[in-house]
């Protein structure tokens, strides 16, 4: 009460400055909370639990910032003779009018809340929405923010969050299998393995932006029929496998033909799979 009395005794100019400072402080506080929630992504404890927390905090931050500035603006108007009750009432009427006149706004807000309280996706997930692929950085009142493979920020209206593809582990696994003729000797297989290793290193250096993790050289595997193949596992961004299907495969085939004349193009196969995630923890 004493603070309120001191505030009322201030000149109008100082009151406005004080209100603006409160708004800025509220904004900084909200951003700090949001940044802290994002930092939880770096922790290795209960990943799904913290993902949901980050998503909720992301939406609450947007609502908190809006509320702070809305109230501060109302208090500023009250200093110029506008009734605060009238301001809130008119804001409600305007809000209803906007709600009926702008279905998109209502859909954005409702869909944003639906995302938060369902398991559609969380902050930190890799998703594909309407042809846009990226990591979810923020879920706001009106927009969901993605960071795509090129590092650009993509703002998607919440009403457009349909046909969402969620990549549980944050990557697509690309499997490159190199088969060899049954007549290949052990020394030839060793040479083929060394060639594959060298080509894999070269493709990592040439196309680092498509990768989402280290490349795994699984080595030679024998099937139940006695055939042998060498498997390389790539973790890549969704839809970014063309360099592996073209450049990597072509260079590998040409190099192997020089060492093993019997080698043919069909012996290099490129396949994709999405790893199955562990069940999400209940929240």
Rank 115-119, 154-158, 223-227 by mean pLDDT and report only the highest: 154-158
| Crossing angle (nearest 10°) for helices 103-116 and 47-78 | 140
**74 to 14, 83, 85: CA distances (angstroms):** 16, 9, 9
Position 103 confidence tier, pLDDT thresholds 50, 70, 90: low
Per-residue pLDDT at 56: 65
Query: Which of 27 and 227 is assigned the larger pLDDT?
Result: 227
The pLDDT, as a whole number, for residue 150 is: 85
Q: What mean pLDDT do residues 122-134 have?
A: 87
Q: Could you count the other beta carbons within 10 Å of the beta carbon of residue 170? A: 18
Domains and CATH numbers, the chain: 2-167 (no CATH), 172-273 (3.30.70.100)
Q: Is the pLDDT of residue 219 over 60?
A: yes
Tokens for 110, please give them.
């409702």
Q: What is the mean pLDDT of residues 100-111?
A: 64
Q: Has residue 162 got a pLDDT over 60?
A: yes
* Partners of 223 in the β-ladder: none
Report d(CA 12, CA 77) in Å as an integer. 11
For the chain, what percent of residues have pLDDT higher than 70?
65
- Per-residue pLDDT tens for 32-81? 765 665 555 445 434 555 555 666 666 666 667 667 767 777 666 666 66
Span 220-254, pLDDT tens digits = 888 888 888 999 999 999 989 999 999 999 999 99
């Amino acid at each position: 009460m004493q603070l309120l009395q001191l505030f009322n005794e201030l000149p109008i100019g100082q009151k406005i400055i004080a209100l603006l400072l409160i708004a800025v402080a509220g904004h900084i506080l909200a951003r700090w909370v949001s940044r802290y929630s994002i930092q939880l992504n770096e922790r290795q404890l209960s990943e799904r639990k913290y993902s949901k927390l980050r998503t909720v905090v992301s939406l609450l931050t947007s609502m908190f910032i809006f509320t702070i500035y809305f109230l501060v603006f109302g208090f500023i108007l009250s200093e110029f003779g506008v009734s605060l009750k009238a301001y809130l009432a008119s804001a409600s009427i305007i809000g209803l009018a906007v709600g009926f006149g702008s279905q998109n706004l209502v859909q954005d807000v409702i869909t944003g809340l639906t995302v938060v309280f369902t398991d559609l996706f969380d902050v930190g997930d890799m998703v594909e929405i309407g042809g846009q692929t990226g990591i979810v950085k923020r879920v706001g009142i009106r927009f969901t923010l993605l960071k795509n493979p090129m590092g650009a920020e993509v703002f998607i209206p919440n009403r457009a969050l349909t046909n969402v593809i969620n990549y549980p582990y944050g990557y697509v696994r690309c499997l490159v299998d190199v088969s060899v003729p049954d007549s290949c000797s052990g020394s030839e297989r060793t040479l083929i393995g060394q060639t594959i290793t060298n080509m894999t290193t070269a493709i990592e250096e040439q196309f680092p932006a498509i990768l989402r993790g280290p490349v795994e050289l699984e080595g030679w595997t024998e099937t139940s029929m006695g055939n042998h193949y060498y498997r390389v596992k790539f973790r890549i961004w969704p839809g970014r496998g063309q360099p592996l299907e073209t450049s990597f495969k072509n260079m590998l085939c040409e190099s192997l033909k020089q060492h093993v004349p019997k080698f043919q193009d069909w012996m290099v196969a490129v396949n994709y799979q999405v790893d199955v995630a562990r069940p999400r923890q209940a929240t």
